[in-house]
Amino acid sequence: MARNDDITSTEKLLDVIRNKKDEAPSPPPLSVQAPKPKKNIVAFTPPKAGSRTMNVGIDTGHEFVRFVKTVRTADGKWKLLDVRKLPYPVGVTKGTLEFATFLREELTKFGCSAKDNCGVWLIMSAAEVEVRHIRIPKVAKKQIANAVYWGMRKECSFDEKECIFDFEVQGEVVDQGIPKLAVMAYTAPKKEVEDTQRQFAQVGIPLEGLVITPFAIQNIFRTGWMGTAKETVASLFIGNEFSRIDVYSRGNLVMSRGIKAGVRSMVEALMETYNDERRPDPDAPTGRRVMTFDDARRIVFGLSPEAPSQEDRERAGLTEQEVLKMLEPALERLARQAERTFEHFMTNVSNERVEQIFVSSVMNVYRPMLDYVGEQLAIERNVFDPLDPKVADIPTSLNLSPSERIAFMPALGVALSDNTYTPNVIFTYRQKDDAEQVQKINRNILGGFIACLAVCALVLGYQFLQMSQKKEAVAKLETRLAQFSPQVSQSMIKDLLASLKQRREALHDYSVRYLGMAVLGELAALTPADIRLLSVKSGLDYPVIAIPAAGQQAQAPASPPPPKAGAAGTPEKEMALEGLVFGDPATFESQLFRYRVALESSLLFKNVTVKKQDLEPFRKGRVLHFIISMQIG
């Protein structure tokens, strides 16, 4: 199991971080979880951390599946809503699609569906999860991940292609007068995590996190669920084949150790001690009583007051005190292992003393056994029962025995999870960095909006100031205007507008009358000597002036008459030019192009296009015959 060791060679690790030539290159990307968050995340996308208001923790034990539902209150604390224990359906085993389907159906009944915004957290096996507590030199924030990675590689070798690597910085410590960072790092099998995610995704369960039991218990201390806990406490779990001691300091898991002693050791100690006494039994073939392993196990598990009967112990002719006396060697070995763990913690991890120990076990709670271990360690001891109504706010509808409450402890711990403080194998430090980056972008955008709002407020204030100044100026002008005579009236303005309109119409008539002359004058000015126009056709049609009879004097109009209107009542603007280009045949096209550009540059013509350009014989040479179409603009 995991143990606590420090990195003693500070300079060597710093050399690794600085990428010296004699060191190995930086590692490749450590892990790719599924689904991997996108790098380019739109601003104001809610981060995954802290986005759920309700959680359901699931603990898949050997015989039962336990559910615990919690909700986050307005003050940020967690409140227990309900618990449930279900046996496995017949023929359904863990790690199969049928098991995930079973969980989905039960979650829906439990009030945790997709529409409930409910986060589903699952306890995963800690058998293949390696947890290490290391210390690294104080480095820049961007170098912490690299430093922890190499520190973890010194502790245990792992393949980043097959393992998920994650860590959390637990604070600053002083090691031999040198400030360092205390880090909890761990690796988990990637295939197991991805298979679990895939199975849950196939049945439509949005799995929020996978957490091992020590991290779930850490949630209980970090959230302040047990207000009676000291600053430095230990959790002793007595399993069937082994036991586990976890030390928590100020809510942080700072040390873990596995002990090869559990309930089996107690059962074997009871069986061996009883058989060594050779108690007589006339009915037995050998003339003495023999206790089997199963008999001893039933007696040990029957010590609790919650046991249905004491027939096995009474049949063996033992009292409760005698059974406890026979278990003392195994309990003493367990206490000695715990004591050495605490000494190692005080010597190598922290100078603080473990002030309190919480004990839980796979067997029913037996207080004399707990008191014996506590007396051997000379430490305050308690049953690890976070669902005790005396410890937390528990719904009155939950009527659970102490052993049942203890069995729900892992599920409760994982139901208190949140990505802001819970190590999660599917939301590692990489995803946390991405979420932090998004939050930073959001803060910058929000700051930009606030700055823009402030600028707008200043502009608005400036405009109000300008408005007040303009009003004052208008008032002064009105005062001056009142001094003028005559006063401007609406009728005077109408008369002025009418005269301006009449003048404008007269100018328009002149422009229409002399449009033809202007067109011809513009063509004469733009047509070069080597281009001769054969014909000029336009829609401008002038009426014919009648010739006066003999002896009569013709009365010429003061100005050319305006062109006739077309059929639709508007002057036609289309115009066609036909002409010849003289000179060197090699320059015909360039001369025509220059002529076309000159026409387009004129303010009178637009949409100039060459409709035809053909070489034709002319006298003893050749000319370029062209037709140009354009509009009078």
Q: What is the pLDDT of residues 262-289, one digit of tens each?
A: 899 999 999 988 888 777 766 666 667 7
Average pLDDT, the chain: 82
Provide the Cα torsion 33, 34, 35, 39; round to 10°: 30
| Tokens 């699952």 belong to residue | 122
Is the model more confident about 283 or about 257? 257
Residues in a beta bridge with 136: 181
In a domain, 578, yes or no: yes
> Angle at the Cα of 376 (from 371 to 381), degrees rounded to 5?
40
> 629 and 611 in contact (C-beta within 8 Å)?
yes
Question: Residue 467 and residue 471: Cα distance in Å, rounded?
Answer: 6
What integer pLDDT is reported at residue 261 of this predicted model?
85
The strands making up 163-175's β-sheet, listed across from edge to edge, are 130-137, 178-189, 163-175
Give the integer Cα–Cα distance in Å for 286 and 214: 48
Edge-to-edge, what's the strand order for the sheet holding 207-211?
A: 78-87, 64-72, 54-60, 118-123, 207-211
3-class state of residue 520 by DSSP: helix
Strand partners, 465: none
Q: What is the pLDDT of residue 546?
A: 44
Amino acid at 486: P
Question: Which range, 26-40, 318-332, 449-463, 482-496, has the best average confidence (pLDDT)?
Answer: 449-463
Averaged over 132-160, what is the pLDDT?
90
Q: What is the pLDDT of residue 20?
A: 39
Q: Show the DSSP H helices in 119-182 as ranges.
A: 144-155
164 lies in a domain? no
Q: Where residue 562 sits, what CATH number does that domain have? A: 3.30.980
DSSP one-letter code for 25: P
Asked if residues 260 and 242 have their Cβ atoms less than 8 Å apart, the reply is yes
Cα(13)–Cα(224) distance, integer angstroms = 36
- Residue 95 confidence class, pLDDT cut points 50, 70, 90: confident
pLDDT band for 581, please (50, 70, 90 cuts): very high
402, 409 Cβ separation under 8 angstroms: no
Does 232 share its domain with 380? Answer: yes
What confidence tier does 9 reach under pLDDT thresholds 50, 70, 90?
A: very low
Confirm if 78 and 61 have CB atoms less than 8 A apart: no
Domain final residue, candidates 353, 385, 417: 385
Query: Which residue, 361, 407, 372, 368, is CA-closest to 387?
Result: 407
pLDDT digits (tens, 9 = 90+) for 411-449: 999 999 999 999 999 999 998 888 888 989 999 999 999
Confidence at residue 461, expressed as pLDDT on a 0 to 100 scale:
95
Number of structural domains the chain divides into: 2
Examine residue 49 and state whether it is found in any structural domain, yes or no. no
**Per residue in 517-575, pLDDT tens?**
888 899 999 999 999 999 998 877 654 444 444 444 545 444 455 555 444 443 457 88
Say if residues 493 and 575 touch (Cβ distance below 8 Å): no
Q: CA 428 from chain center: how many Å?
A: 12
pLDDT band at 320 (very low <50, low <70, confident <90, very high): confident
pLDDT at 307 over 60: yes
SS3 516: helix
Q: Is residue 33 part of a domain?
A: no
By the 8 A CB rule, do 329 and 357 touch? no
Say if 317 falls within a structural domain.
yes
Tokens of 65: 């599946």
Predicted confidence band of residue 47 (pLDDT cuts 50, 70, 90): very low
Residues sharing a CB contact under 8 Å with residue 559, sequence separation 6 or more, in sequence order? 510, 513, 514
CATH number at residue 256: 3.30.420.40
Start-end of H helices in 540-605: 588-601
Whether 33 shows a pLDDT value over 60: the answer reads no
Two tokens, residue 626:
């062209």
Contact (CB, 8 A) for 137 and 120: no
The residue from 385, 410, 436 where one domain ends is 385
The answer to whether residue 226 scores a pLDDT higher than 50 is yes
Does pLDDT of 56 surpass 90?
yes
* 617: pLDDT strictly greater than 50: yes
Q: Are 131 and 186 in contact (CB under 8 A)?
A: yes
Residue 74 makes CB contacts below 8 A (sequence gap 6+) with none
3-class DSSP state for residue 608? strand
Task: Answer whether 563's CB lies under 8 Å from 519's CB.
Answer: no
Q: Is the per-residue pLDDT at 157 higher than 60?
A: yes
Give me the residue label for tokens 């027939």: 311
Give residue 464's pLDDT band: very low, low, confident or very high (50, 70, 90).
very high
pLDDT band at 96 (very low <50, low <70, confident <90, very high): confident
Residue 166 lies in a domain: no
In angstroms, the CA 199 to CA 100 distance is 6
- Looking at residue 534, the DSSP 8-state letter turns out to be E
Residues 370 and 235 in one domain: yes
Peptide bond into 29 cis (omega under 30): no
Final residue before a domain boundary, out of 385, 417, 441? 385
The pLDDT assigned to 43 comes to 34
Q: What angle do CA 488, 490, 496 make, to 5 degrees?
A: 80
- Whether 237 and 380 map to the same domain: the answer is yes
In the three-class reduction of DSSP (H, G, I as helix; E, B as strand; rest coil), residue 409 is classed as helix
Domain that includes residue 231, residue range: 227-385
Is residue 242 assigned to a domain? yes
Asked whether residue 600 carries a pLDDT value surpassing 60, the answer given is yes
% the chain with pLDDT above 90? 36
Q: Answer whether residue 412 is part of any domain.
A: no
Residue 42: what pLDDT?
Answer: 32
| pLDDT tens, residue by residue, 344-384 | 888 888 888 899 999 988 887 788 888 888 888 888 888 88
CA diameter of the chain: 175
Average pLDDT, stretch 390-412? 87
The two structure tokens encoding residue 422: 């819970």
- In angstroms, the CA 304 to CA 607 distance is 105
**Average pLDDT score over residue span 469-488:** 84
What confidence tens digit (pLDDT) does each residue in 228-247 have? 678 899 999 988 888 889 99
User: Left if phi > 0, otherwise alpha if psi is -120 to 50, otherwise beta: which for 332?
Assistant: alpha
What pLDDT, in 10s, does the model give residues 177-206? 889 999 999 999 999 999 999 988 888 888
